[in-house]
Amino acid sequence: MNSTRLSTCLSIACAMLLASASALGKEPSRPECIAPTKPGGGFDLTCKLAQAGLKDHKLLDAPMRVTYMPGGIGAVAYNAIAANRRGEAGTIVAFSGASLLNLALGKYGRYDENAVQWLTTIGTDYGTLAVREDSPFKSLDDVVQALKKDPKSVSVGGGGSIGGQGWVKIALLAKAAGVNPRDLRYAAFEGGAEHYMALMGKHVDLVTGSASEIRAQKANKIRTLAIFSEERLPGELADIPTAREQGYEIQWPLIRGYFVGPDVTPEAVAWWRDRFATLQASPEFQQYLADRDVLPLTVTGEDLDALVKQQVAQYRELGREFGLVE
């Protein structure tokens, strides 16, 4: 190859690299992940997955900070980003299926699922039902029989008010048992680990939660009666039976991921998606997720937009079944 042709090829290659870098933009200043709840729980975990993963894989020059914005199981954070912090390129916000449920039920005020840009999912979690280690409830059927006898005799704690995902998980069990969910004795908590603390303090008899929260509650001597997944989960949770195998066809998968403000530039969105794609392709990060009982799931771009709209529609229909929306 002569020198002129080599020079031309190098010029083209450099131009392509510069164009690629320009399309992705540069690292946003002051990267931040907002967990829209108090410390502890699924939103906190979702932010810390990003924080640790991006740091360990050297995908951020500046450390990512995790901040907390509790209120309405995500409502305060969603409204803040959709209304006042619309163009913050360095800010990502954790979301889950619980966020989408609240959107479907109109709990986020005037903003719907189109008010933000959905960045990427990180994994899938599943609903659970847990009791204290010394609880007389030894199986899901024990809970069902108690609910059938007297729904008010069992106090249940969960994240969010009536209609929120904490309530829906026990409402699905009540429905399967032929009990009116409206007759349940339900105590609402903001999120984080509040409902587990209430369980340990004997303020409630059982709690609804998520599989990814089990590991963090080991020291509290909590026993999980069922996981609302299609099959048993791998690893340390393999000994926990599903609701299905105990005779109750209840499943509650819960996607976890991140969104950004509606005015964040396409270049910044592309930058974040590129970093997460690199992270999620790493076998080490896949193991990191598994060690925290989160099943890897990567959906982004138009596919994620479609998934969000699909899940919001499904949750809205579920809300109609329970008389929560018209």
Give the list of residues 6+ apart from residue 230 with CB closer than 8 angstroms, or none.
242, 244, 251
Q: Give the 3-state secondary structure of residue 12.
A: helix
pLDDT tens digits, one per residue of 204-218: 999 999 998 888 888
Helix locations, the chain, DSSP H? 3-24, 42-56, 75-79, 97-104, 140-149, 165-176, 194-200, 266-280, 283-290, 301-321
Angle between helices 165-176 and 140-149 (to 10 degrees): 80
Q: Return mean pLDDT, the chain.
A: 90
Distance between CA atoms of residues 85 and 108, nearest Å: 16
Q: What is the pLDDT of residue 24?
A: 56
Whether the pLDDT of residue 109 is over 80: the answer is yes
Instruction: Answer yes or no: are the C-beta atoms of 182 and 205 closer than 8 Å.
Output: no
Beta pairing class for 206-210 and 117-132: antiparallel
Strand-pair partners of 34: 67, 93
Among 7-11, 70-74, 90-94, 186-190, the range scoring the smallest mean pLDDT is: 7-11
Residue 318: band (very low, low, confident or very high) from pLDDT cuts 50, 70, 90 = very high
Residue 52: band (very low, low, confident or very high) from pLDDT cuts 50, 70, 90 = very high
Nearest to 168 by CA among 73, 51, 54: 73
Beta pairing class for 91-96 and 253-260: antiparallel
Provide the whole-model pTM: 0.84
Q: What is the pLDDT of residue 192?
A: 66
Instruction: Answer yes or no: are the C-beta atoms of 114 and 146 closer than 8 Å.
Output: no
Distance between CA atoms of residues 27 and 138, nearest Å: 51
Distance between CA atoms of residues 212 and 201, nearest Å: 22
For each of the domains in the chain, give its residue range(s) and CATH number, in order of start: 29-125+254-321 (3.40.190.150), 126-252 (3.40.190.10)
| Structure tokens, 181 | 């969910």
Residue 16: band (very low, low, confident or very high) from pLDDT cuts 50, 70, 90 = very low
**How long is the chain?**
326
Nearest to 227 by CA among 124, 73, 105: 124
Tell me the Ramachandran region of residue 240: left when phi exceeds 0, alpha when psi lies from -120 to 50, beta otherwise: beta
pLDDT tens digits, one per residue of 62-85: 999 999 999 888 999 999 999 999
Q: How many CB atoms lie within 10 A of CB 63?
A: 10
pLDDT tens digits, one per residue of 122-131: 999 999 999 9
Contacts within 8 Å (CB) and 24+ apart, 282-289: 282/57, 284/56, 284/57, 285/53, 285/56, 285/57, 288/49, 288/52, 288/53, 288/56, 289/49, 289/122, 289/123
